[in-house]
Structure 1
Amino acid sequence: DRISELPDPLICRVLYHLPTKDAVRTSVLSTRWRTLWLWVPRLGLNYRVFQKKKMPWLILVTGFFDSDRVRCGVKLRCRFNKGVDYYNSYVTPWIDAAVKRKIQHLDDLIITKWSAYFHGMPLSLYVCETLVSLKLDGVFLRDSEFIYLPSLRILHLISMMNPNEATFERLISSCPVLEELEVDSSLNDDVKVFRVISRSLKRLSVQECMSEVVIDAPRLGFLSIDSSLSGSYMITNTMDTNVKFVIRLGTYFGDFDETSILSNRKRFCNCLSGISKVRDMTILGVGLMVYTMLIPVYITCTYSIMKGYSCLRWLPTILESFPNLKSLTLECDELQLEDMDEINISYVPQCLLSSLEFVDFNVPLSSVVGEMNMVRYILENSAILKKLTLHLHKDCSTNDEMVKKLLKIPRGSTKCEVVFFDWGKK
């Protein structure tokens, strides 16, 4: 056939665009095709997928790791079905073979996810000189006196078990060129503090960490914290102004007693104090309620996106923390109308008077009083506003009486332009 007449590298490019299970199935076509799938530059060895196809998964994977293919820079994804402890005895020999053949990318190594059993980190991974990216899920970080990963740039640790504080700190500090770190759901209550100390780290994402997180990364350009504030975050090395900061808060304070609320506010203040000089900030989630009755932390941020459920009630208090704000995007999918009527319109934050130039009110506007009050508050009090973008509810149109009323609102800035879009379009 014509395809078989093509050179091997070109056939491998064709197989690259197929799911791994289909690429493997081509091995039965002829003797020549038997090993071609091994040379595909990206493979996903998912136990569940191959099990559904009734393929000899164990023989297949063992054959792959025993081949010379691993050394050629393949991007490998390994997923083992939850609860399949039988295959765990093969994991370490497989990984040892990959390290011996100088593997560069081991992504999504998931072992018995959501099982009570966590496979221990193969010690050979701690000293793999060629590894560039490593993404682990459901792995126990075994303690080791010697760790050195001189080429590792990307490290993701999902649902990990950690024996002690020193092991995690040693792992991070032993990656001299690490640029991206993601830590999601540490499951060991005995570890009280996670220390992220790195002189090379550029991107850091921390999600649902129950412990205290101490960050010392002076080259950081992006920081994302996704938390219910059950843990605390301390940034010891003040961030550069060019850092992009994203924080997602998931705590609803109405269900907690006053002591818990005050404790969470204190944690949030400590976190913000370390990023007070950033210019680009995104705040997401119902945890914006943390600002209620909160003493502002002054942040030199000039670009901010705030997303959350019914967050607008606290807008004046929030803006008080951003005296240099130039651009603001507000995003809410739903609004509690009774809260909208409680907006404190008597106080005008400094940024509205001296710096705010662009506002995108990315909320589906209708003709309710609370929404009209918010738009009026921004228009009347923003002294140098250049552009206000409003998004209309699907039941509204630019010819509605509401739009006419909005355009008649007095503007604090003579240069302000009001632009309308349909909700969800721009």
Structure 2
Amino acid sequence: MDDDRLSELPDSLILTILSLLNMNDVVMTTLLSKRWKNRWTTVPCLRFDPPFKHNKWVEYSKFVSGALAQWKGAKIMKLTIIFHGHGSSPSTDIDSWLRFAIEKQVEKLLVVFKNDDAYLVPQCLYSCSSITELSLSKCSLKIERNVQWNQLKRLAIYQTDALSGDVMNQILVGAPLLEELVLLVLWGFEISENFNIRSTSLKILEINGCNVKAEAELRICAPNLLSLEVSASVCGSCLLYVPSLTTATLCFDDYSITREDMAPLGMFHQVFHSIRHVENVSLSNWSIQFLADMKENDMPVQFPNAEFLKISVVKDQQMHDVLVVLESFPKLKTLIVHEFGRIHNSVASEMTSRGPSLLHLQKVESFVLECHGSISPLVRFLLENAHVLQKMVVDLYGQRRDKEAYISALKELLGMRRSSPYAEVIISPRSLAFKF
């Protein structure tokens, strides 16, 4: 009973465990015994979480500076700095911490800054050739020298309201091995000039929250890109060259502008035509509408290789438009539908005779997140026309608030005709986790 079994663990395992903890807890291990007095000073992963109270910045700053001053490791594998505060920017302190990390050849760096003002990244960071992963939240980028991120594989920039095309180009030129780029900017970030993302190393690209102005152009040239996610309002041009793409998510929804303010339908036709070879597709409400309009205007786009499709209905959508989109996926095997609004069954009878080819559809997941009081007409249509359907998972989470609507929806679902003898209808467990 007196054995110190924790201390008997290999040093490598102890350091791995400590690397998963906040530095406040790591430093407190000095109280365990004399053997643990200096163990924390060589932990390779350092995470400094902010204090709960905003007025504790001075204490937080002293703790971080003191911990780094006593740290004796040869190399920092990962450094995480998170600051929540208000008022003047503590940039001087953070600058010194980053310089220390660069001297210790930091590989992974995460800086989360949630102050009133954005944090201006120091110039020394751009010459950190040891870094492999970099995440910056609410940080301002102003590059005055050549970027030397020769080992960088992943870059994530969050909550920035200013990111010019020139800065993006400098980053991509200085990061020749970059494989993943995530740009989660604040809604309202405007691309008012040409914004090019050109890279032969990129494999994953996510752009979320930008507004391509009418006079601007967003151009993505990434011949080896495998996954692309674009969430933006597009009033200007968007050009894609992504021949290796396998997964695409397109969200052009922005209810702050009208359809007339968006780019012409021909521009969106170019975008969809550029990704017609993909295998996995996710479409938002407006993307569904664009595909349906293209079909009506004799410029349909087919996805002959796509076996997976996810659609999100955010507001009222016509059943006709959804079925027209399904016609564009002749080899579809898996369909996921998220209904944040209602699908209207105004012309379902018309579509039944010339409905989409569902010869390959095997699995459907339907999530209804609003209380409609009845099963989606799309679910009924798929059950009645998907001849090889094997599994239909229905999530009635939105119905749980109304007992009568929930029971009525269940009865309706169980009474629906199924064209496939193998079709298994499953109620999501989340739908059953309720109290009347």
Report what 1:378 is aligned to: 382
Change (3 A) 1:10 1:70: closer
Post-superposition shift, 1:259? 1.6
Kindly indicate whether residue 329 of structure 2 is the aligned counterpart of residue 326 of structure 1: no
Which AA in structure 2 matches 1:316? L
Contact 2:318 2:345 in 1 (8 A): no
Change (3 A) 1:205 1:388: same
Q: 2:241 aligns with which of 236, 244, 253?
A: 236
1:110-149 matched pairs, under 5 angstroms: 110-111=112-113, 113=114, 115=116, 117-149=117-149
Report what 1:342 is aligned to: 346
Kindly indicate whether residue 293 of structure 2 is the aligned counterpart of residue 293 of structure 1: yes
Post-superposition shift, 1:56? 3.4
Q: Secondary structure at the match of 1:56?
A: helix
Which AA in structure 1 matches 2:278? V
Kindly indicate whether residue 101 of structure 2 is the aligned counterpart of residue 91 of structure 1: no
Change (3 A) 1:266 1:25: farther
Change (3 A) 1:61 1:321: same
Which AA in structure 2 matches 1:59? K
Report what 2:201 is aligned to: 200
Deviations 1:319-346 (A, max 9, x none): 23323433322232x553xx52324442
Query: Structure 1 residues 311-320 or 289-298, which shifts more?
Result: 289-298
State how far apart, in whole Å, the 2-side matches of 1:38 and 1:55 are: 22
Report what 2:108 is aligned to: 105
Contact 1:121 1:142 in 2 (8 A): yes
Report what 1:402 is aligned to: 412
State how far apart, in whole Å, the 1-side matches of 2:242 and 2:409 are: 53
Which AA in structure 2 matches 1:153? K
State how far apart, in whole Å, the 2-side matches of 1:88 and 1:10 are: 35
Kindly indicate whether residue 42 of structure 2 is the aligned counterpart of residue 39 of structure 1: yes
Report what 1:418 is aligned to: 423
Deviations 1:288-330 (A, max 9, x none): 4445534332223222122333556331122233234333222
Q: Secondary structure at the match of 2:416?
A: helix
State how far apart, in whole Å, the 1-side matches of 2:346 and 2:367 are: 18
Change (3 A) 1:199 1:320: same
Q: Secondary structure at the match of 1:147?
A: coil
Change (3 A) 1:356 1:371: farther
Change (3 A) 1:269 1:21: farther
Kindly indicate whether residue 27 of structure 2 is the aligned counterpart of residue 24 of structure 1: yes
Equivalences, count: 409
**Identity over aligned residues, as a percent?**
19
Contact 1:326 1:351 in 2 (8 A): no
Contact 1:239 1:275 in 2 (8 A): no
RMSD: 3.9
Deviations 1:388-410 (A, max 9, x none): 51527466679975356413x6x
Post-superposition shift, 1:200? 1.3
Contact 2:49 2:82 in 1 (8 A): yes
State how far apart, in whole Å, the 1-side matches of 2:168 and 2:145 are: 12
Change (3 A) 1:229 1:79: same
Gaps of 5+ in 1: none
Report what 2:434 is aligned to: none
State how far apart, in whole Å, the 1-side matches of 2:82 and 2:8 are: 32
State how far apart, in whole Å, the 2-side matches of 1:128 and 1:347 are: 59
Contact 2:291 2:301 in 1 (8 A): no
State how far apart, in whole Å, the 2-side matches of 1:325 and 1:297 are: 15
Contact 1:129 1:151 in 2 (8 A): yes
State how far apart, in whole Å, the 1-side matches of 2:140 and 2:236 are: 21
Gaps of 5+ in 2: 432-436
Change (3 A) 1:391 1:122: same
Contact 1:233 1:267 in 2 (8 A): yes
Q: 1:352 aligns with which of 338, 356, 360?
A: 356
TM-score (norm 1): 0.80
